[in-house]
Structure 1
């Protein structure tokens, strides 16, 4: 014979089982929320690193048109050294795009200056990373060299006393570089 308590016990037992299931579900949700919270904190840390001030100053892109004589002297020295010591030495195929008179072409000077700044950002800073290096090698270097080669094509084919493509290192002294830089510096305003 069943007593009125038997259905109540069955109901309480079923309710207890359901509460147990709900407790397990809540525990799983709590664990998942913990994982989501950890992910959100990680993303927040990464965003903070990206938005913080850089540890090193940004690489400047020169404005040759507005440089005074002192800045231009520094820029000419840095650019000519970079073209000779880095571009031509590390990337010898670049020599095919250059002509001994590259420095006489303002558009080529701008191209090479921008390429040097991009190279410095990709390789020369403490926070340089592989993606920047790969982008420089795959995108910036070939694109710039194609444009430079096109810009200097007339100097190779017209009779401007410029030599054809040189497979050897392009030496600036033989092409009047010093005189050209001195004339350029004489035309610029004095430093403030």
Structure 2
């Protein structure tokens, strides 16, 4: 991916004070209208305390505005029906069944957003994933970095494309010649590793 992410007006983590203030004002007004118009109990009065509810309502508002915006080409559209079926109904269903809102009542909200723990092996898992990826697409030539291992599916792709050659085509576990080296499947990892 070469395109740098440019956050839009609904990307809460990227908003500065001014943009956040504008979005809160817009969202509060829209949610008040939505709750009254549809007599919704699923959207709790304390909705703004719940980060997931804020994100979902922001997305629903964005979709609603895109659907109901006046365009010069469209007078009648299936967009409003689609919004009700594909945005509003599923969102309310999630609100109804979420354990996050069980303790919330009209007068009280005991919810406190807690950070979810990250699995202890996350950093190790990511490092292994990155190490197993081929870097040959972006750099090639004699000084291009060589991978420490190649997963079986990737090596099979190289064989199918004629870039790698098994020593014994009849044996699916046969060592493979690729990039001028001999590769064998490791019993420990199940990936191909260079042996010379």
> TM-score range, shorter-chain basis?
0.3 to 0.5
Scaled by the length of structure 2, the TM-score of the pair is 0.45
Bigger fraction of residues in strand: 2
Larger radius of gyration between Structure 1 and Structure 2: 1
